[in-house]
Structure 1
Amino acid sequence: MKMKTRITEMLGIEYPIIQGGMAWVAEHHLAAAVSEAGGLGLIGGANAPGEVVREEIRKAKALTKKPFGVNVMLMSPYADDVAKVVVEEGVKVVTTGAGNPAKYMKMWKEAGIIVIPVVASVALAKLMERGGADAVVAEGTESGGHIGEATTMTLVPQVVDAVSIPVIAAGGIGDGRGIAAAFMLGAEAVQMGTRFVVAKESIVHENYKQRIIKAKDIDSAVTGRTHGHPVRCLRNQMTREYNRLEAEGKSFEELEYLTLGTLRKAVQEGDTTNGTVMAGQIAGLVTKEQTCKEMIDEMMEQADKLLGGCQK
């Protein structure tokens, strides 16, 4: 069932599956479990200070000897510190979100780090290739959290045609069918977030996990479109209030205040009523809690059958 692609060869992993660097969710337990299962686990830097990320990296190293990476959120006030920490701690892979990693590229490349930016457009993918990126994650609007406008089905093949570096598909992928479809579109790996949120190794509150497991296909909502910062999460009291205020023309600052700390509230405290329950549209397909190994084995077996064993 092992799939060999430029991504698996580059990253030294068994399967072309990367776990998304989700804020408050992607910590050392989950990252290490995904890597141990043959994928690439990621620690989500989010808005955490450099020393917090350093501690997470060291804890992950204690749990796995296999490759794992760090997602650097470029809009974080601590991005400069985290960018240095990944070099100092010998991290082999960095993914980036919310911006252009150009200012760190020389430092990372000199340290031998594989750099994989997340992009939501062809133009950004081309810019990242010119800037020295080793691969890109083409993330469709189906994803949870901060999103672009193009769907995975339309974005991935256009990015594949536009760049020569490997493309990883993300957004709306939650099983072997999604993996097979991504490969048909020209991707050489997938990045998945929502399904891994409900992994047994995930530290997310049980209420959050159950909200995803019980979600229907129409249960996601997007907030912040009018201000150019769209975020996909599951519908609840918070999203209804946000969208009401947004429709009334409230400022971005007022709306941001409404969501301050709400992701942590949902992830850690289990407040799925007033917290931000980030999840992709694929949540309706996620129906059970499994270990990361069980998930990856199940998905790869399904993908292998659909692709006709052509990757062997």
Structure 2
Amino acid sequence: MKAKSVHAIEISAGSVKIAAFRIQKKKLPVLTFLFTEAYDSKPKMEEALCRGAAAVAEKNAVYATSVWAATMMTRKVVMKLDDSEDIHQTLNLEAEKFVPFPINECLVDGYVIRELENGNQADVMFIASKKDLITERCELLKRSGIRLGYMDVHPVALANLYAQIEPQHAAEPFAIVHLGDVPGSVKGEENFASVCYEGKPAVIRDLGGKLSEPEVGDAQWRYVVTQVANAVSFFENSMKLKVASFRVTGESKTCEEFIKRYKEHAGSDFSRWSALQSLQYQDQSLSEKAVAQETAVTVLTSILARRLFE
């Protein structure tokens, strides 16, 4: 039996957020509950998690979450497809060629971006993370009485959500940039870009941090726009496809500055996009609270809800 609700938890630098959604068939989930609490130390973070879990009305709730860190490795590779082999075994072998730390110290996952014309090869994205990052998060949630059912990587969740909400634009390749505080970030502010094919990132680039600080200079901005432009160029050259749309999401002032600078650098027009304006809410107060918090947990949950329960 499929669940009728799903819960998501976001732990970012300085705050804990828990959201609950009611699942609707072939529609976006409806936000029914949102808990937010700030913290300034690890013990207080755990206390906030416990209070948030206690505030959830549903007993035995299962949670989804997302993690992201600059130390995660992402790479698009061409792999042979063999029906007799598990793709994850092949991913581990591929990861050994690129991951800069022992393979037994990391977790590797991935997905097929597209099958190639010759029929026995595919473009594949693999994602590698140090085990301790994932283990620490899982143990933290367990200590807080939170039962974790699913963990994703934020660039993948965000790209898939855009494809769900904007299918008319996601039918063609698109670039999506996130600037600001990211759920699951180990540093607080994380900035990344994804260039996507059929709703799945084919290129992911970490863009560094601290873009929201007043003293950020031209050199840092040049690095960011160059990284995004290079990601777009790499996608178009390797996939033999043109990127049709450009979206940026995150903190308002930072996004506007990026749009201006990218236009000057590469000539392409990025436009603002916010999933918060497209989601459904049980009542107006929840809508106002979610938007005021600029919480990405709603973004995360809506895509995870579909993956888990549809």
**Higher RCO (CA-CA < 8 Å; seq separation 6+):** 2
Bigger share in helix? 1
Give the TM-score normalised by structure 1: 0.30
Bigger share in strand? 2
Quick check: which has more Rg, 1 or 2?
2
